[in-house]
Amino acid sequence: MALALYRKYRPQTFAEVVGQEHVTEPLINAIRAGRLNHAYLFSGPRGCGKTSSARILARSLNCAQGPTPEPCGECRSCVALSAAGHGSVDVIEIDAASHGGVDDARELRERAVFAPVDSRFKIYIIDEAHMVTAAGFNALLKLVEEPPDYVLFIFATTEPDKVLPTIRSRTHHYPFRLIPPPAMRELCRKLCDEEGAVVADDVLPLVVRAGGGSARDTLSVLDQLIAGAGAEGVTYERAAGLLGVTDAGLLDEMCEAFAAADGAAVMEVVERVVEGGHDPRRFAGDLLERLRDLLVLTQVPDAGTLGLVDAPADQLGKMTSQATRMGTSTLTRMAEVVAAGLAGMRGATAPRLLLELACVRAILPGSDESMAGLMQRLETLEQRAAGAALAAPARPVAAPVETGPAAVRTALAQAAPTPAAAPAPKPEPEAPAEVPPWEDASEAPKPQAAPAAAAPEPVEEPPAEDWSEPAPAPVYEPAPEPAGGGTSAASVRRQWDRIMMAVKDRKRTTAALLQDATIADANDGEVVLAFKHAFHAENLQKEPAYGIVVGVLGEVLGGTWKIRCEVGEAGSLPKAPTGAAPAPAPRTGAPASRSAASPGRQAAPPAAEAVEEPPPEDYDEPSPDDPVAPGGFGTSEEQAVKLLTNAFGAKPIA
């Protein structure tokens, strides 16, 4: 009869212990330094190497060349304590499950006083130490606390909390842990090569998962598969059927049905699971593990390389595609629903029904009013929109057609003559961007051609602005506002919307106070605001409202500003009109200004309080007496510039 794999390949040195480097390295260092304790406590899950490490420690201490972390394997003690050895009289292994009473403890205490027969130390390995009764531990307490120099205790247990605290406090505790899947898979592959067994690559993940991180359990499963293999070796189908795990094909079909939210496909997969004789609970557990792997792949695309997801290369490609189509929110909610269904299947009389309900709930986020259901619905809509955009046929890109102000500016630029080079333009306040220049196109004055024989009459107009030679296609952009006293009331009115938005962003109550204000004047770094109600004026002059408005004026207009608030009835103070208002008296035969007729624009103050420079938005229709521009455009160069400036609220760039 052949030895089982876990007995045949039991580690003989600390270097052969797999996945417990956090325990073996400190023990090796302690042996080399000669700092040995009289009692040790090895704890951890079953089959992770506790008893094997205890035997290795005994061999290391009793080796003829020791104490050494690397037993020679040739002396009498090493041969007796090897896997094929008969045991040593000085190394006593006790199963506390059957020898944990007070009488057994008293017998051990009486025999421990005798010196070892053929070794350096007399070592007691007490396995399943948590099974020792409280009376038995109390009987051993004095011996464990102060043993003879040649006596050493090693307690091994899966439940260290059940060991009497007085015993546990007198030991050096080394916690063992489960072996990670990559290390376990490498160990299985190595043993298969040494045994000459043919095992498919996709079988090892099933073996590792069935072992649950325990080396003994994993090697037992592998030993069973190798023993029942045929001439073709251990195949995936035979391993899946023998271990009772769910076929990967069923899991792939269920995940595809989840990704497509196909209820019919979900029910069909559940039917196949039941017809195939699979346990619904086991299928739900395997499905939950698959959803976990997909969720990991959404966060770590190279999880397969890092060992976070244990699956073959071809399977990883399918899983990556499924994870991408479902998304993080969908996978999270599905995993939570399946986990809740799995918890409800324990002890249930109809596990199939619970499995069907869990799977249907997973693809129906509309039935879930929680935040997880809402996030899944949003994620599904986003993915559908992205898929539709990718699936849409590509259309030829036509040349862009200029519309709106851009088309008007291009047409005017092509029709206008090329002027001679002139000095750089003088900065002019920018026009508000909120009023599109084409809104009042019907109300704009139409240029009239003057008779060629008529002589121009001198007209008092503002100083003409000089323009340099424009580019082939003139581009208009707002001019920077001058700071300080150079800013007029008209320019402040044009920036008033920006000022109100900035004040509202800082404090809404201050913006509410300004709703009743109109700009009466702006000169020498001071803005005069007219209010209908004294309450608003008084509160605006207090902090923090005053400081907020002053700060916003400095940011928008530049420079340093002050505010003076006045209260007066309509007409008593100069203020910007809210609707249509009469413009300054035009010349004989000239129409009213555009700013007066345009809704939403604020006109210049009355003549009594008028500022020195005229508002930029007021322009005059060219009279028959004005000179005709060469090229037949119908207006002079200066008047064309005015027309463009008032129409588009900007000046042409030289």
The rounded distance, in Å, linking the Cα atoms of 375 and 387 is 18
The rounded distance, in Å, linking the Cα atoms of 289 and 246 is 11
Three-point CA angle 403, 641, 651, nearest 5°? 65
The rounded distance, in Å, linking the Cα atoms of 540 and 441 is 39
pLDDT per residue over 593-635, tens digit each? 333 333 444 444 444 444 444 444 444 444 445 444 444 444 4
pLDDT at 473: 43
Q: Is residue 489 over pLDDT 90?
A: no
Tell me which amino acid residue 324 is.
Answer: T
What structural domains does the chain harbor? 5-175 (3.40.50.300), 181-242 (1.10.8.60), 246-385 (1.20.272.10), 489-578+596-609 (3.30.300.180)
What is the band of 309 on the pLDDT scale with cuts at 50, 70, 90? confident
Q: Is residue 421 over pLDDT 60?
A: no
Q: Is residue 1 over pLDDT 80?
A: no
**Residue among 563, 558, 561, 556 at smallest CA distance from 542:** 563
pLDDT at 508: 84
Share the mean pLDDT of the chain.
Answer: 75
Q: Is residue 408 over pLDDT 60?
A: no
Q: How crowded is residue 547: how many other Cβ atoms within 10 Å of its Cβ?
A: 12
Give me 213's structure tokens.
């991180």
Residue located via tokens 């849409």: 392
Is the sign of the CA dihedral 9, 11, 15, 17 positive or negative?
A: positive
Q: How many CA atoms lie within 13 A of 208 on its CB side?
A: 21
Which residues does 646 contact at the CB level (< 8 Å), separation at least 6?
594, 595, 616, 617, 618, 619
pLDDT per residue over 538-581, tens digit each? 888 888 888 898 888 888 888 888 888 888 754 455 444 433 33
pLDDT per residue over 211-266, tens digit each? 888 999 999 999 999 998 888 889 888 888 888 888 888 899 999 999 888 889 99
Section 132-138 average pLDDT: 89
pLDDT at 387: 60
Burial bucket for residue 314 (CB in 10 Å: 0-12, 13-18, 19+) = exposed
The rounded distance, in Å, linking the Cα atoms of 14 and 42 is 14
Task: Return the higher-pLDDT residue of 488 and 342.
Answer: 342
pLDDT per residue over 179-190, tens digit each? 988 899 899 999
Contact 452, 629 (CB under 8 A): no
Q: What is the DSSP letter of 485?
A: G
Section 365-385 average pLDDT: 69
pLDDT at 482: 43
Got the DSSP string for 426-437? PP-PPPPTTS-T
Contact 215, 6 (CB under 8 A): yes
